[in-house]
Amino acid sequence: MQSPSVSALTDRRDPAEAAADLARQFGAAAPRAVVFFCSHHHDGAALSAALRARYPDAEVVGCTTAGEFTESGHGRGGVSALALGEGVVRACRGALARFGGGVEEGIRAAARGMEEGLGIELRSADASRYVGVVLVEGLRGKEEEANHALGMVAPTLQFVGGSAGDDLDFRETRVFHNGEASDDGAALLLMEMAVPFTVTKTCSFEPTEHAFTITRADVASRTVYEVDGRPVLEAYADAVSAGSGALDGGVFMRHPWGMMLDREPWIRSPQQALADGGLKFYCQIEEGMRLHVMRGTDLIGQTDASVRRAAGELGGRVGGGLIFNCILRRLELDRAEAHDPFRATFAGFPAAGFHTYGESYLGHINQTCTGLLFA
Amino acid sequence: MQSLEEVRHALHARLGATDVPKLVNTRVFLRTGVNLSDIRGDQNADPALVARVVGALHDFGYPLS
């Protein structure tokens, strides 16, 4: 029987012990790939190396987190992982893109390695067979450039993932591949799937009647200064019926901004009202872009609906998945004590995920849950 | 090219299709704010925006000139 996918969760801190505990839960699985998400307190490189030593034929990629979960448990300070067997993945190749010499250069070098390993050209690879996972370092603000570079090397392939975290310490995040680590790069995994798959993207927001066109922004610092010729803080405060002094984290979480494409929101979350009158976001926003102020809907319900849609696309049943859930959604789950219902949306199939510092799918997005689900 | 409509027509001609590939359209949208499948009137003749969209398409391997 071909190996399916198996999820695992451990709270062991020692890399060898953590790898052993994950391997025990994987059982007889013979993975083609192992994707893991570990606390920033872990030595992720050593954990990656230990997993690689146990599964020398598997590609091992991972990153640090702001919390880890599987379909059956969650926590902070542990490791979640998914072993993808030959019944799911026909072939795969991972790579560590190092950004020290430039993001585009790092992505191009990593892409060449994956192309050589798989004997394909990314530009012409069959998008119905190949899919990628991208885990980007989460504090240097290079996600837009990384996703753009992926679009340059593989414009018609889907890469989905998230930004590494450090559980709100904001000191260092890391990504890993086969025992190597980077705090300024991305871990990539390109898989030729043996089963149908789909990429999911869900958020719990809908547009309000308030929409702005950006008229002044500093893209590099992810800061907006004016919308429709008005000071951004004044316009935002009016839209959410708050004084500009009351624009705080609570307002930002309840009312992020969204770019609407075919009635689907792509969320940009405010981070901070600046003393110079700017509104700093967790994503870049260009002048001329039009964004709606959003309002919340039902996080659990929308997540469940996205999994059900995916199941429908996959023939009625999900066989497994990798889940990338925004830290801001985790904070909402914390407040509502709703982690169990959130995980229940993945009940019935092995899933591993982490709470991210941003999500990746064709670009960099916020306050969203992205995922790779397969039959 | 003077407008986003011209960009869209040129892309269609290059691709030999009447639809912009969805993933490419989404990538361009997230990069520039332009939905080539439903161009906003206020964006259509903005020279800076036209240049940005042409540049993004070039980056993704769809040069139009």
- Helix/strand/coil for B42: coil
For the record, the structure tokens of A366 come out as 């916020």
B24–A148 C-beta distance less than 8 A:
no
Within 8 A of A157 by CB-CB distance, chain B residues are: 23
CA distances from A196 to A127, A154, A311 (A): 11, 20, 11
Tokens 């979640």 -> residue:
A80
Chain B residue at shortest CA distance from A259: B33
- Mean pLDDT per block of 10 residues along chain A (375 residues) reads 83 97 94 98 98 97 98 96 97 98 98 98 96 98 97 96 97 98 98 98 98 97 98 96 85 97 96 97 96 97 98 96 98 97 96 98 98 98
Place of tokens 């994956």: A114
Contacts 24+ apart (CB under 8 A), B19-22: B21/A155, B21/A156
Size of interface A-B (CB pairs under 8 A): 60
Select the residue of A152, A155, A363 nearest B30 (Cβ to Cβ).
A363
Predicted pLDDT at A125: 96
Q: Determine the pLDDT at residue A1.
A: 42
Asked if B60 reaches chain A (Cβ–Cβ under 8 Å), the answer is: yes
Given a cut of 80, whether residue B18 has pLDDT beyond it is no
- Give the distance from residue B20's alpha carbon to the nearest chain A alpha carbon, in angstroms: 11
Question: Closest chain A residue to B43 measured between Cα atoms?
Answer: A288
Are the beta carbons of A25 and A11 closer than 8 angstroms? no
Calculate the CA A361 to chain-centre distance: 8
- Please give the helix or strand (H or E) that residue A48 lies within, else none: helix A44-54
ipTM exceeding the 0.90 mark: yes
Name the H helices within A139-261.
143-153, 232-239, 249-254
Q: What is the mean pLDDT of chain B?
A: 93
Please state whether the predicted TM-score (pTM) of the whole model is above 0.90.
Answer: yes
Instruction: Count the alpha carbons within 13 Å of A106 in the hemisphere toward its beta carbon.
Output: 23
Q: CB under 8 Å to A64, separation ≥6 — which residues?
A: A37, A38, A39, A40, A42, A44, A164, A165, A166, A173, A174, A175
End-to-end CA distance of chain A: 16
The continuous run of DSSP H or E covering A200 comes out as: strand A197-202
Q: Closest Cα to residue A362, out of A370, A374, A350, A354?
A: A370
Helices (H), A56-160: 103-118, 143-153
Query: How far is it, in rounded angstroms, from Cα A185 to Cα A162?
Result: 13
Give me the residue from B23, B48, B59 closest to A148, CB to CB.
B59
Flag whether residue B61 sits within 8 Å of chain A, measured between CB atoms. yes
Supply the pLDDT for residue A14. Answer: 97
